[in-house]
Structure 1
Amino acid sequence: MRFSLVVNGAPSSSEQPAGSVPWWSFSKTVLAAAALSLVRDGLLGLDDQVLEGPFTLRQLLRHEAGLADYGELADYHAAVAAHAAPWSAEDMLQRLDAQRLRYAPGAGWRYSNVGYLYVSRLIERLSGLALEQALQQRVFAPLGLSRVRLARTCADLQDVHMGAASAYDPGWVYHGLLVGPLGEAVLCLDRLLTGDLLPAWLLREMRTARALGGPIGGRPWIAPGYALGLMQGTVQGGQLLSGHSGAGPGSVVAVYHCVRGNDTASCAVFAEGADEGVVEAEAVSRLAAAVGSADPRLG
């Protein structure tokens, strides 16, 4: 298990693989940041209905739009395991019957990668740029990150740590799979949540979470929640964490931020062939050691 830690804005310690790792669903946090930069610039409002359906950007980012998820399709998992060529996005949406909402927007919660496919399309449409160029312009360049890229083909993963999934095709991640050094993942989250990429009012909106119930077995969450592109909630030891976990064939990544008093810390943990809860627990442990675990609060 490898990690990278930032304390009070400065890299503190690191034991990370040389080269890049898949960011898996931490990519959602980056997509949310880019979408919120469009709100910052007045190109749409958080509660404006979007072209993709009768739901708002806020509902998409918080998984409240009523959409299903292609992870529910047994054929999807079988095709990935068989190293089949990825379906087109439109084929996937048709197989999922994605136009049929599973509940009225805002009336429930259901994790949906399809929602973030729609977010990626919204970013491209309103920025006038291809997704990778939009993310570079709106997130990575302002945050001082230069080694993150969007993996589109198997060839794009040749220098990426993929564990036992060396033949994985990133085309199966319909909202886009970001890859980059683990150290850039932790800097991305830390600078996003402590810097001025987004104004204070919009950061508050980003960190306003929907409570999702009680403890999750096998994982450190005591009171989990989901905000705008952020998994957020209280974990074992009392810390309030904000960030995102991501799991895919062969590996897991967990990138989280916490605050105690005037101290802040962010940690990214990556492991090949590991359980998601174990990787999250490692991040929790390292953050607790960095800032202490007594009566923390999210900054």
Structure 2
Amino acid sequence: MLLYAPLLLRFAAYAFAPPTEAEIDQFLAKAQTKVNAPGMSVAIVRNGKLAYAKGFGFADVEGKVPASGQTVYRLGSVTKQFTATVIMQLVQERKLALDDPIRRHIPDLPAAWEKITVRNLLNHTSGIYNYTGLPHMMDKMVLRHTEPRGIVKTVEDRPLEFEPGSRWDYSNTGYEVLGLIAEKVDGQPLGESLKKRIFRPLGMGSTYFTLDGKIARRHAKGYTVRNGKLADADPIDMSWPYAAGSMESTVVDLAKWDAALYGDKILPQAALKQMWTETVLSTGNKTGYGFGWALGEVNGAPIIEHGGGIPGFTTDIRRAPSHGLTVIVLTNSDNGDPGGVAGRLMGFLDPELTLAAAAGIPDNDPATTALARSTFESVLSGNLDRSKLSPQMAKLLTPEFLAGAKAQLNAAGPLIAFTLLAATDEPGLKHRTYAVTLGETTLKFQFDLSADGIIQGMSLHG
């Protein structure tokens, strides 16, 4: 479960003087003490110009190395927007098309994947099983070095989770396949494509695509919270995250990336608009996701965002293009809440970007809501009844995963509200979306329940 931007009470519009640098410092110093990470770096970008870049706390606690705007962090899934951009560049060059079947480019992929297109991979509608949910993946398999094709092979014998295009389900595997396609079409390793196509043209000299475990200069040390105490993060061989999460960068370099998104240097605006267009499923339902970016709005203002989580680090980049404002938050703990900080900071900088309290809809099935709430509360307490989980969910929600989720969620604050936002049913399956408020942070909790009372899906995001 990832914590992304919070929903806060909107305060009335009035003449507003932007906060001073000292006030921002004070706001972020306080936020850093609550973010559940020893170190945090933050950048504020206004109309493509870097307006603020500082660090708070420690990049290395034992060495007493302070975090700064130049501290390098692992980005996790923030990598996906870069992989998606390389794919869109290749589309612009007519080297592939969004609706190409993926087996056209990688013929030895399973025959069962023949209907999956490049577009399905970009927007998480492929139905390919997410390899990070495999048993022992995160505690054993990721310790060994692998090759990109080897990552995909771990799930090739599994049936598709659904017909491509009919559902949305976040899949790191899909982005690993995109990396393979980019390498095949571009004729070079993905890291070289990223370097030549994005990092060098934008002057992102402290940004890396790391598969070999080498440590960059000024690199933050990753931490976790274990048994209530700060501890070194679990190790991971960086060959596994690959196209879904192997980048490292600084808030200053990511500000350069944000600036490029206002122009045409990396991609034409028409192509970027495609990336920022919400995916609509074959059922007509919307997904809140484009190509490598999550999409939403605050008081009518579009929000383009993505978070990342990888052992030792959590990250977030949150853009409000109509207001010319971007906030980038990187932390060196996998229990951190950078999305919450980014959302609160954006509202602090511009009151029009402070979210209103979530408005609920009439609840015609209170029994399902009661079950959803009790399930969520059991995650908070660490007493989830695993017999109520589908086999797939039981494999995904390992005891280690749940322990981390418990620590992260409880750090956000007590459960204050549980509000129904959306309810849709299909034969044998109920889909529910709730606004869950923990302290000052409000998140969307998605809950899928089959007719026999088994939990088929459960996720939490902004």
Q: Distance in 2 between matches of 1:189 and 1:127?
A: 24
Q: Is the 8 A contact 1:255 1:266 kept in 2?
A: yes
1:220 maps to what in 2?
none
Matched to 1:247, the amino acid is: G
Give the TM-score normalised by the residue count of structure 2: 0.55
Q: Distance in 2 between matches of 1:63 and 1:109?
A: 6
Matched to 1:234, the amino acid is: E
2:278 maps to what in 1?
209
1:33 maps to what in 2?
85
1:84 maps to what in 2?
143
Of 263, 267, 278 in structure 2, the residue corresponding to residue 195 of structure 1 is 263
Q: Once the 2 structures are TM-superposed, how far is the Cα of residue 285 of structure 1 from its aligned partner?
A: 2.2
Q: Once the 2 structures are TM-superposed, how far is the Cα of residue 294 of structure 1 from its aligned partner?
A: 5.7
Residue identity over aligned pairs, in percent, reads: 24
Give the TM-score normalised by the residue count of structure 1: 0.83
Q: Is the 8 A contact 1:259 1:291 kept in 2?
A: no
Q: Distance in 2 between matches of 1:232 and 1:155?
A: 33
SS of 1:75's partner is coil
Q: Distance in 1 between matches of 2:287 and 2:168?
A: 13
Q: Distance in 1 between matches of 2:44 and 2:193?
A: 27
Matched to 2:310, the amino acid is: G
Alignment pair present for 1:264 and 2:324? yes
Matched to 2:251, the amino acid is: L
2:304 maps to what in 1?
242
Unaligned runs of 5+ in 1: 213-222
Q: Once the 2 structures are TM-superposed, how far is the Cα of residue 114 of structure 1 from its aligned partner?
A: 0.8
**Number of residue pairs the alignment of both structures matches:** 279
Alignment pair present for 1:161 and 2:230? no
2:250 maps to what in 1?
181
1:21 maps to what in 2?
73
SS of 1:103's partner is coil
Q: Once the 2 structures are TM-superposed, how far is the Cα of residue 92 of structure 1 from its aligned partner?
A: 4.2
SS of 2:258's partner is helix
Q: Is the 8 A contact 2:124 2:170 kept in 1?
A: yes
SS of 2:219's partner is coil
Partner deviation per Cα, 1:170-198 (whole Å, 9 max, x = no partner): 12214250112222123213422x11122
From the superposition, tell whether residues 224 and 95 of structure 1 become closer, same or farther in structure 2 (CA, over 3 Å): closer
Q: Distance in 2 between matches of 1:200 and 1:88?
A: 34
Q: Once the 2 structures are TM-superposed, how far is the Cα of residue 274 of structure 1 from its aligned partner?
A: 5.7
Q: Distance in 1 between matches of 2:122 and 2:238?
A: 22
Q: Once the 2 structures are TM-superposed, how far is the Cα of residue 275 of structure 1 from its aligned partner?
A: 4.0
Q: Once the 2 structures are TM-superposed, how far is the Cα of residue 91 of structure 1 from its aligned partner?
A: 4.7
Moved over 6 A (4+): none
Q: Distance in 2 between matches of 1:281 and 1:239?
A: 18
Q: Once the 2 structures are TM-superposed, how far is the Cα of residue 140 of structure 1 from its aligned partner?
A: 2.1
Partner deviation per Cα, 1:110-157 (whole Å, 9 max, x = no partner): 111111111111111111121111112222233332321111123336
Unaligned runs of 5+ in 2: 1-39, 56-67, 107-112, 224-232, 356-462
1:108 maps to what in 2?
167
Q: Is the 8 A contact 2:148 2:180 kept in 1?
A: no
Q: Is the 8 A contact 1:4 1:182 kept in 2?
A: yes
Q: Is the 8 A contact 2:293 2:305 kept in 1?
A: yes
Structural RMSD (CA): 2.7
Q: Distance in 2 between matches of 1:79 and 1:269?
A: 29
Matched to 1:143, the amino acid is: L
Of 190, 199, 222 in structure 2, the residue corresponding to residue 131 of structure 1 is 190
From the superposition, tell whether residues 182 and 8 of structure 1 become closer, same or farther in structure 2 (CA, over 3 Å): same
Of 294, 310, 329 in structure 2, the residue corresponding to residue 231 of structure 1 is 294
Partner deviation per Cα, 1:72-92 (whole Å, 9 max, x = no partner): 112102216xx7324454554
Partner deviation per Cα, 1:203-252 (whole Å, 9 max, x = no partner): 2211111379xxxxxxxxxx9711101011135x6653212100111220
Q: Is the 8 A contact 2:329 2:341 kept in 1?
A: yes
SS of 1:12's partner is strand
Instruction: State which drifts further: 91-100 or 163-172.
Output: 91-100
1:218 maps to what in 2?
none
